[in-house]
Amino acid sequence: MPAAVNFKQRICALRPGDQAGGDIDLLYAFESDRGRIINSAAIRRLQQRTQVFPLERNAAVRSRLTHSMEVQQTGRFIVRTLYAQLGERAADYGLDGLQGALESLVEMTCLMHDIGNPPFGHFGEFAIGEWFERALDGLFAIAVPQHVADPELQARMRADLRNFEGNAQAVRLVVSLQRLRLTYTQTAGLLKYLRPAYQPRPGKGTAGAYLNKKPGFYLCEEGFVAELQQVLGQAPGTRHPVAYIMEAADDISYCLADIEDSVEKGILSVTELAPLLVSTFAKLQSPDTPIPGSPQSFRGLVEQALQRYDQEEINKAGEFFVKLRVSMIHPLVQHAARQFIDNIEAVHAGTLDRALIEDDSLPHAIVQTFKDVAMARVFCHREVETLQLQGHRIIQGLLDSYGALLRVDAQTFTELTEGNCRREAYLQMLVRRLPSQLIKAYRQAVRECGEADRAAWEFYHRCRLVQDFISGMTDQHAHDEYRTLFAL
């Protein structure tokens, strides 16, 4: 086997608190991870989180949970296809005997990949970041006098808090809030992006621009990430190979799912969608070129699915998408597995600076076609934009209310969390609405921060507490809480 590529060195069963060198069965360890993840509150909350349509009552339209289950299945399919393509060559890369472990790692990473997303999806991320961008300097000036804290540390803290990001929040949930104590390998799959939130985004064309285009973790989890990298022998600024497969599974799954949901909602009809797909694809590649791994061209696949639609008498749209999905997922999965193998040294090292399907290939054009159609005809639809505007107002309104807890001194906030602050009756009632688990996490973080720059760290963790609370809500919880606080 090439010395540089041995996947047995990238997969281990150690978890935080374990003694290195112990004899731990891989499959047993990852089965334990599976149980911890599936039974976690973070996964259950996905059933009432937005995929595209917030506050959706039609159960046939995807939630984050049903989307994540589809990504999970696609990730499993990619791993099995990868082993089928490698055959006996799997041993050359240290992948022999690891199929069950790799399948479990990928499946659970796929299931978890959206747990950090706030209510109302990416628009919720924007709303949280916008509020802190606007308010944070003034709040810091009140809570942390300039002369009592390291100015460079304060600058990092402010940049970190302004850059709320679902991927970084997922790591925080697993490590600091839910405290799932997963294996380092399982958690490593969640590190899709590799820079701390306080660092600026690198410019396009620079080394690592793709792997660092979004924050991957927060300042408060930086110590854990360094520990994870040391245990796994993972260089800073590099990905774990599992993250590449999870990302490809997500790209393959959501591009068609968003379009299918728009048809279920009546935003598009199948008869107008079919020619739109072909014309959009024609801007990227010839729709008549055979798709690798398929005897059909893109036009042929769409026409074949449309023929099924015309022949079906009961579930016409469902039959159209079943045919389209089956015809397209197979070549896309084949391509993702082939890209993994063709770039196996860079994937193993975690330095491949792009997604597996993000190339100039025809399969990439398929994924991009669905994304382009969704962007042009779904995300800008009036109903979707109305829901996003409502979500923005709800998130900002909740932050306006709970942001009052960031305007008191540390001693007052401590008294509030202990229920001993009668002079601040309104704030006391707000604090009582915070989950006790988040208050305990805040208290522990403050205890562990030491005396150096204590005022800055206390306020940083208090801001995190507010972000954790708002971002951890489901769409419906956020909606109900907003109505309650604003007496609507």
pLDDT digits (tens, 9 = 90+) for 381-410: 888 888 889 999 999 999 999 999 999 999
**Residue 1 scores a pLDDT above 60:** no
Highest-pLDDT range among 201-210, 302-311, 415-424:
302-311
Nearest one of 371, 147, 387 to 277, comparing CA atoms: 371
What is the C-alpha end-to-end distance of the chain, expressed in Å? 66
Residue 20: predicted pLDDT: 67
Query: pLDDT, tens digit, for every residue of 139-152?
Result: 998 888 766 668 89
**Residue 153 scores a pLDDT above 70:** yes
As a whole-number percent, the residues of the chain with pLDDT over 90 amount to 81
Mean predicted lDDT score pLDDT of the chain: 93
Complete domains list, the chain, with CATH: 1-231+382-488 (1.10.3210.10), 268-377 (no CATH)
Q: How far apart, in Å, are the Cα atoms of 301 and each of 2, 322, 364?
A: 40, 12, 16
- Looking at residue 154, its amino acid is Q
Residue 21: predicted pLDDT: 59
Cα three-residue angle 378-257-369, rounded to 5 degrees: 65
Nearest one of 454, 371, 366 to 409, comparing CA atoms: 454
What number of residues does the chain have?
488
Nearest one of 246, 222, 260 to 114, comparing CA atoms: 246
**Residue 121 scores a pLDDT above 90:** no
* CB hemisphere CA count around 370 (13 angstroms): 25
Residue 314: predicted pLDDT: 93
Q: How far apart, in Å, are the Cα atoms of 328 and each of 80, 299, 315, 374?
A: 17, 12, 20, 17
Residue 337: predicted pLDDT: 98
3-class secondary structure per residue, the chain: CCCCCCHHHCCCCCCCCCCCCCCCCHHHHHHHHHHHHHCCHHHHHHHHCECCCCCCCCCCCCEHHHHHHHHHHHHHHHHHHHHHHHHHHHHHHCCCCCHHHHHHHHHHHHHHCCCCCCCCHHHHHHHHHHHHHHHHHHHHHHHCCHHHCCHHHHHHHHHHHHCCCHHHHHHHHHHHHCCCCCCHHHHHCCCCCCEECCCCCCCCCCCCCCCCCCEEECHHHHHHHHHHHHHHCCCCCCCCHHHHHHHHHHHHHHHHHHHHHHHHCCCCCHHHHHHHHHHHHHCCCCCCCECCCCCCEHHHHHHHHHHHHHHCCCCHHHHHHHHHHHHHHHHHHHHHHHHHHHCHHHHHHCCCCCCCCCCCCHHHHHHHHHHHHHHHHCCCCHHHHHHHHHHHHHHHHHHHHHHHHHCCCHHHHHHHHCCCCCCCHHHHHHHHCCCHHHHHHHHHHHHHCCCCCHHHHHHHHHHHHHHHHHHCCCHHHHHHHHHHHCCC
Residue 223: predicted pLDDT: 96
Nearest one of 177, 163, 178, 95 to 129, comparing CA atoms: 163
Query: pLDDT, tens digit, for every residue of 364-377?
Result: 999 999 999 999 99
Q: How far apart, in Å, are the Cα atoms of 353 and each of 243, 260, 347, 349, 437?
A: 12, 30, 9, 11, 38
